[in-house]
Structures are given as C-alpha cells and as structure tokens.
Homo-oligomer: A and B are copies of this chain.
Amino acid sequence: MNIITISREFGSGGREVGKRIADILGYAYYDREIITAIAEKHDFNENYVESMLENGFSFCMPITYGRTFSYSDVGGQQAIQLLSTQCRMLREIASKGNCVIVGRSANIILEDMNPLNIFVHADIESKLRRCRERAPENENLKDSELRRKIKQIDSNRAKHQRFLSEKKWGDKEGYHLCVNTSGADIKAISSIIAEYAKGYFESK
C-alpha cells in the first residue's frame, strides 16, 4: 500500500499539492472527508468536530496527580474521543489502498505503515498572497490579522502533533521531504513531487 501524507503550513498550497498528486498518481484523496465521517459517526456538527480536533487539545494536556493523570475537562475528553475515532478511520482508509492524506497528523498516526511523509511550507509573503487570493469575499482581514490567523492555525497544528508524538511538527527530521512552495507554480511542483513519490515507492 502506498500512503502519502501531506503536512503543511496554512497558506502554503499543501492541500492543492496533495489533491493534484492524488489525481496524477490515481490515488484516493482524503482531507475533509475524514472530518465528515467522524461527524456522522458521533452525530456532531462538522465544524464542531474540526474545531475540537484543531483546538480541543489546547485545554486537554494531561495533568499528573502523583502516579495517575487525567485530563483537565470534559471538552478535552471529547477531543480525545474524536481523536481516537480519527485514528481508527485513518488506519481503515490507509489499509484500503494507495492514498494521499492531507493533515490530520496522518504522518504520526500511520507511522508503522511506512507512509511517504511530505511537509509543504512557504515564506510568509507567499502565504499571505495565497490566502488573499482564496479568501471568501466577506473576509476583509488586515495584513496583521491575516498573519496572526496563519500563525494561530499553524500553532494549533503543532500543538496537535505535540499531543501525539515527540517529533516536532514542521521539523525536517520528521519528514522524508520538505518542499518550499515560495514563488513556485503549484501545478508544476505537484507533478514534480508526484514523480518523486513514484520513484520513492518503486525503490522500496
């Protein structure tokens, strides 16, 4: 089974890269679908699930009392239940066939299934530009607000991974390949990465 995980900085184009790679290689593609499935399973609203998985961990770090430990509140416990469902679903998905999974800490959760782990990043100017181009019409954030938003989302992603692993989110050591999309054409770079992935799996 060839599994590609894409972790990415917000605004770097990682999601588009993932989608394009999946199209080129004819692999299944998972991103938001996982949230939808978890929401259905727990009968929650999708946005709630997404927000719990991305922010819930900020208040559910384990607290140690002597030899036992617990989580700080009910919200935290719910986040853990959702995470556990997410783990199960990711493993199910990954065992079905070749796939590209964007986000969801799949690089960590599927570690024992030997995925090709790619991290997509870009400099802040490229990310601001990309976010502006893709912002909904009613979003009128100032540059400083947009910078803060980008930083906040990435910081949540990093926190999420810290909960699951000692490997630091975004540290090149945790990935097979880190790709800088600053000033790059996402379409062209995706074909190149797809070729890279093909070569990688052939050489295994």
Q: B-contacting residues of A (Cβ < 8 Å)?
A: 119, 121, 123, 170, 172-173, 175-180, 184-185, 188-189, 191-193, 195-196, 199-200, 202-203
Contacts and interface: CB of A to CB of B under 8 A. Distances in A.
Given A195-B196, A196-B195, A180 B175 contact: yes
Contacts of A200: 189, 192
Nearest to A202: B188
30 contacts: A119-B172, A121-B173, A123-B173, A170-B172, A172-B172, A172-B178, A172-B180, A173-B180, A175-B178, A175-B180, A176-B179, A177-B177, A177-B178, A177-B180, A178-B178, A184-B203, A188-B199, A188-B202, A189-B200, A189-B203, A192-B195, A192-B196, A192-B199, A192-B200, A192-B203, A193-B196, A195-B195, A195-B196, A195-B199, A196-B196
A176 B172 contact: no
Contacts of A123: 173
Nearest to A175: B180
Number of copies: 2
Contacts of A121: 172-173
A146 to B, nearest CB: 19
A127 to B, nearest CB: 12
